[in-house]
Amino acid sequence: MSEIILKVDGVDPVELYGEKNIKLNLFKKAFPELTITSRGHNIKLAGAKKDAQKAKGKLEMMVRILKEHNELTVQTVEDLLEGGNPFQSKLSSGSSNPTIVHGRGGRAIKAKTHNQKRLVDASEQNDIVFAIGPAGTGKTYTAVALAVRALKNRVVKKIILTRPAVEAGESLGFLPGDLKDKVDPYLRPLYDALDDMLPAEKLNFFMSNRTIEVAPLAFMRGRTLDNAFIILDEAQNTTGMQLKMFLTRLGPSAKCIITGDISQIDLPYNQKSGLRKGMELLSDIQGISTIKLTAEDVVRHRLVKQIILAYDASDEILRAQRQEAQNAREEKRRRKEEEE
């Protein structure tokens, strides 16, 4: 029988235990063989020595996360208790990871993973950056934070956020309202990111005087986009001609981030995504960089990572089956040619 008393210093017990002790109860549930009691800044762990030491390590990790990130979410606690290591791909809040911009209420917005930090660095060193990765990896959010910072620092005079309204297609005319009302639902993720970083009054002012412009990709044709930070979101849904059209809009003082997930293409079956071809064609041009994010960079619900990995595994099996079928067809054709 072992008894360990931990003194939790430097953090608010309410933040550590959670509202109505929700995080503390998760901790207790993960170690049912232990008797866990808390009083103020002290937590007592009683039970088998091995179990108590393991619980102590998890609790110390929770305290460390709270100190370094100034928050400890329920999801983070669940991940930690299920065996994950929140520091494996997540960044600390130290000087090596400076604040990108301060959001609403003065909240510091920083890169949360190493690949997000690579995206920040790439944008500072290049005028065009491709940010490629699955859903939930913070591609769009980080890009919008960089754009807002550039605007606040007067590096650019405006922000232009655009994405193809592929899902609308022929059905746009059946949606209620004017054209803005019809396309706004497809631009909602961009509005949400902006809303997190700018006070409502300032955002409305910037939108009204077109300092910040959110528009469908089709509206970019014929324009020259200069002194602007431009984000093309959901670029996997652009055709080759659309992506070329967009890239050739950039003026001398423009900066651009193109985000996309090549595993979620919504184009019609007979149309190919221009994103992959664009990256290949432009990969060797100085001033253009590509950053690839993975499931390890997912900052949404803990299950999103597992969902992405499951789909990736399924896609890999399908690719192998297609390759095997193609090899069989080629072998059959070769034998037929030999017989003739």
CATH number at residue 39: 3.30.1370.10
Task: Please tell me the distance from the alpha carbon of residue 315 to that of residue 298, in angstroms, as a whole number.
Answer: 19
Tokens of 292: 């690839």
- For residue 213, give every residue at least 6 positions away whose Cβ sits within 8 Å of its Cβ, in sequence order, or none: 158, 159, 160, 161, 207
Q: Which single residue is written with the structure tokens 């017989």? A: 339
- pLDDT of the residue at 169: 44
Q: 195 and 145, same structural domain?
A: yes
Whether residue 224 is found in the same domain as residue 146? yes
The full 3-state SS of 126-182, as one line of letters, equals: CCEEEEECCCCCCHHHHHHHHHHHHHHCCCCCEEEEEECCCCCHHHHHHCCCCHHHH
Structure tokens at 93: 């809040």
Beginning with the edge strand found earlier in the chain, give each strand of the sheet holding 2-7 in spatial order.
Answer: 2-7, 42-47, 35-39
DSSP-based three-state secondary structure for 73: coil
pLDDT at 340: 67
Sign of CA dihedral 322, 325, 326, 327: positive
The reply to whether 169 and 75 lie within a common domain is: no
Q: Contact at 8 Å (CB) between 312 and 295? A: yes
Give how many domains the chain has, as a whole number.
Answer: 3
The size of the chain, in residues, is 340
How much is the pLDDT for 229?
96
- Is residue 87 situated within a structural domain? no
List the beta bridge partners of residue 288: 128
**Long-range Cβ pairs for the range 302-306 (8 Å, 24+):** 302/75, 302/78, 302/79, 302/82, 302/84, 304/135, 304/136, 305/136
Residue 188 lies in a domain: yes
Give the Cβ contact number of residue 244 at 10 Å: 14
* 167 and 217 in a common domain: yes
What are residue 46's DSSP bridge partners? 3, 35
With respect to residue 65, please indicate whether it lies within any of the assigned structural domains: yes
Give the pLDDT of residue 20.
Answer: 84
Residue 88 lies in a domain: no
* Residue 290, H or E segment: strand 288-292
Residues 218 and 335 in one domain: no
CB burial string 253-270: b at 16+ within 10 A, e below: ebbbbbbbbeeebeeeee
Written as tens digits, the pLDDT of the chain (340 aa) is 788 888 888 888 888 888 888 889 998 998 999 999 988 888 999 999 888 899 888 888 888 888 877 778 777 787 788 765 555 545 555 556 788 988 887 888 888 888 899 999 999 999 999 999 988 888 999 999 999 999 999 999 999 999 887 654 444 455 566 556 666 676 788 888 898 899 989 999 999 999 999 888 888 888 889 999 999 999 999 999 999 999 999 999 999 999 999 888 878 777 888 998 899 999 889 999 999 988 777 766 666 667 777 776 777 787 778 778 888 888 888 887 777 6
191 plus 328 within the same structural domain: no
Residue type for 218, please? A
Residues in contact with 220: Cβ distance below 8 Å, sequence separation at least 6, in sequence order:
162, 245, 246, 249
Asked whether residue 198 falls in the same domain as residue 278, the answer is yes
β-strands 101-102, 108-109 pairing? antiparallel
- 292 shares a domain with 316: no
Count the neighbouring beta carbons within 10 Å of the beta carbon of residue 186.
19
**In which domain, by residue range, is 131 found?**
101-300
Backbone angle region of 83, left / alpha / beta, with phi > 0 → left and psi within -120 to 50 → alpha: left
Q: Which amino acid is at 224?
A: T
pLDDT by residue (tens digit) across 279-290? 999 988 999 999
**Nearest partner of 259 among 232, 285, 238, 239, judged by Cα:** 232
pLDDT, tens digit, 9 for 90 and up, residues 220-259:
888 889 999 999 999 999 999 999 999 999 999 999 999 9
- Helices vs. strands in the chain: H and E counts, helices first: 11, 11
Q: Are residues 335 and 244 in the same domain?
A: no
In angstroms and rounded to an integer, the radius of gyration of the C-alpha atoms of the chain is 25
